[in-house]
């Protein structure tokens, strides 16, 4: 059994990590640390955690208990991640960071450890031996799942349009007026039109794929607790071969247990992926446009589920361990 400490465990994504790890057959929960909720019962904090008869540990408990071979999930503020990661790495632990502190290549190092970008479907071999993994954001995860197979056709792409919609939990648990029920109910709100914090992450990974075409990224908040739908449109100079495009998607995800490539007339559904680490994909060609749609749970494949998938890869376990849809769906 591998001991896993969760730091900053009171947020939506970190709480979901705690829930998944509680049922993991090869991991045991170490410290469940929260500065804001220290001493409070974990089960009183989130109804889905009521089976966990623990209280939140206070600051410093995880580091004091950490030993070589442990794994640490950092769920706190990005500003705190470099110092926290360095301290745990010095103790001989391996670290998965939920924040955006290490996602960009310019910041992807902590001490003598290089951070690996945790998009497992592409970087599986790099994740396996990693000491530090930067968990991707939810918008980039869904976007990259939709567009990665188009790397085979990159020279022909002249423009990308990424229309993305997220449930309210994507904004985190810290109260904000824009996230209140009265603000989001009966509305679909575009935001970040002058530049979104995930856009550089998307740009970095698209460029790494060799996709240099300009893109427009428009995120929206929709009145749902959880869920994310990305509609990505790749405009080509010439009409691409539809069969070749679909074959590229099938080939890319042939060994990916959580990615479902739907039949041509099927559309991804948020209700099909809610509470899971699954992703549903649709791809079709209309003239010079490839339409790639991706549905994920923003707290599942977009955050906590991806953490556990990454942890499984790091520990040499089957990626599906503790992530079978039938056992984790909410």
Residues labelled as active-site residues: 138
Query: Taking the mean position of all CA atoms in its chain, how far away is CA 13?
Result: 9
DSSP 104-119: SGGG-EETTEEEEE--
DSSP helix, strand, coil percent of the chain (3-state; round to 5): 35, 25, 40
What is the 3-state secondary structure of 137-174?
CHHHHHHHHHHHHHHHHHHHEEEEEEEEEECHHHHCCC
Residue pair 309/258 in contact by the 8 Å Cβ criterion: yes
- Alpha-carbon Rg of the chain, whole angstroms? 19
d(CA 208, CA 87): 30
């Amino acid at each position: 059994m591998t001991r896993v400490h969760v730091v900053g465990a009171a947020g939506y994504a970190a709480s979901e990590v705690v829930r998944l790890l509680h049922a993991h057959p090869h991991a045991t929960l170490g410290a469940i640390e929260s500065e804001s909720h220290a001493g409070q019962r974990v089960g009183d904090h989130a109804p889905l955690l009521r089976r966990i008869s623990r209280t939140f540990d206070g600051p410093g408990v995880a580091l004091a208990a950490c030993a070589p071979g442990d794994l640490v999930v950092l769920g706190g503020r990005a500003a705190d991640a470099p110092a926290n990661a360095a301290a745990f790495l010095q103790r001989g632990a391996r670290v998965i960071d939920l924040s955006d502190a290490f996602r960009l290549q310019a910041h992807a190092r902590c001490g003598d450890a290089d951070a690996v970008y945790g998009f497992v479907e592409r970087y599986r071999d790099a994740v396996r031996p990693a000491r530090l993994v930067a968990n991707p954001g939810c918008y980039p995860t869904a976007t990259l799942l939709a567009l990665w197979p188009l790397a085979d056709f990159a020279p022909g792409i002249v423009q990308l349009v990424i229309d993305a919609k997220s449930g309210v939990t994507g904004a985190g648990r810290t109260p904000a007026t824009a996230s209140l029920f009265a603000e989001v109910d009966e509305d679909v709100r575009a935001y970040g039109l002058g530049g979104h914090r995930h856009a550089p992450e998307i740009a970095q990974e698209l460029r790494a794929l060799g996709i240099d075409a300009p893109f427009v990224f428009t995120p929206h908040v929709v009145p749902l607790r959880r869920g994310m739908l990305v509609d990505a449109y790749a405009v080509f100079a010439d009409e691409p071969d539809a069969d070749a495009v679909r074959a590229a998607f099938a080939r890319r995800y042939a060994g990916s247990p959580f990615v479902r490539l739907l039949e041509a007339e099927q559309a991804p559904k948020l209700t099909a992926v809610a509470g899971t680490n699954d992703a549903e994909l649709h791809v079709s060609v209309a003239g010079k446009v490839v339409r790639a749609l991706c549905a994920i749970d923003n707290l599942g494949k977009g955050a906590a589920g991806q953490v556990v998938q990454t942890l499984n890869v790091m520990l040499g376990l089957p990626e599906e361990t503790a992530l079978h849809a039938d056992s984790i769906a909410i």
